Amino acid sequence: MNRIDRLFEEKKSGILSVYFTAGYPQFDDTVKVIKALEKQGVDLIEIGVPFSDPMADGPVIQASGARALENGMSVKRLFGQLAGIREKMSIPLVLMGYLNPIIQFGFDNYCAEAVKCGIDGLIIPDLPFAEYMDAYKPIAEKYGLHIIMLITPETSEERIRLIDEHTSGFIYMVSTASVTGAKNSFGDESLAYFRRVNAMQLKNPRLIGFGISNKDTFNAACREASGAIIGSKFISLLGSDKTIDEAVARLVETIR
């Protein structure tokens, strides 16, 4: 069974997924961050593949991506860092990266290398759904990888149901129609959107991302979905705290 499926089967609520940018703050920090997150009880990790034009990301994650690229991070080097990672950890791992570097690497090759490293799923924010259906879904299924699609408050019910029918793993619910970034609370509009999607009784579980930064936002997300995804808040801590372990401990303390 795919580790993502096992996680959602065993844990129905309160799932904490954390995003970080590979190669940040230092090039060799990728595996250190992954091990520290699992040690602190994080349920799922999204490994960001840095890209020069990350259109869905806010300034904090954009800056981390620029730093990682300056450090020399690339798709090929990331796979080199992740080789053997499954000897050290067991929680689900998802790669989150934009389409351009993946196309340059070759999608079939990208999937093959991901599986060798023990990756369980892929998030490609700028992958159009029609292209996913035509060209990407068959390859991902061949390798047993889940491709996780994003929905926003502006996504129609028809499109949400199509995504639910043709994807697996979980659905990434973007909390607002904006870029990533920490927020102190969710407004009535976001809460109404969470409840509207929750009432659709979709087959896939959902995680809410963009804006999760404290106990209030994490708990609000967990009331309306299986859990939440945190990115910008953790990236900020990685950039300010003295050690990776310190940053991870402060994140978990802030959220839980």
C-alpha count within 13 angstroms, C-beta hemisphere, residue 115: 16
Is 46 annotated as catalytic?
yes
Q: Do the Cβ atoms of 97 and 48 come closer than 8 Å?
A: yes
Cis upstream peptide for 125 (omega within 30°): no
Q: What distance in Å separates the CA atoms of residue 91 and residue 27, rounded to the nearest whole number?
A: 22
Of 57, 120, 164, 224, catalytic: 57
Of 29, 38, 43, 46, catalytic: 46
Exposed/middle/buried for residue 239 (C-beta within 10 Å: 0-12, 13-18, 19+): middle
Segment holding 88, helix H or strand E: none
Segment holding 60, helix H or strand E: helix 59-70
Residue 10's SS3 state is: helix
Is 5 annotated as catalytic?
no
Residues labelled catalytic: 46, 57
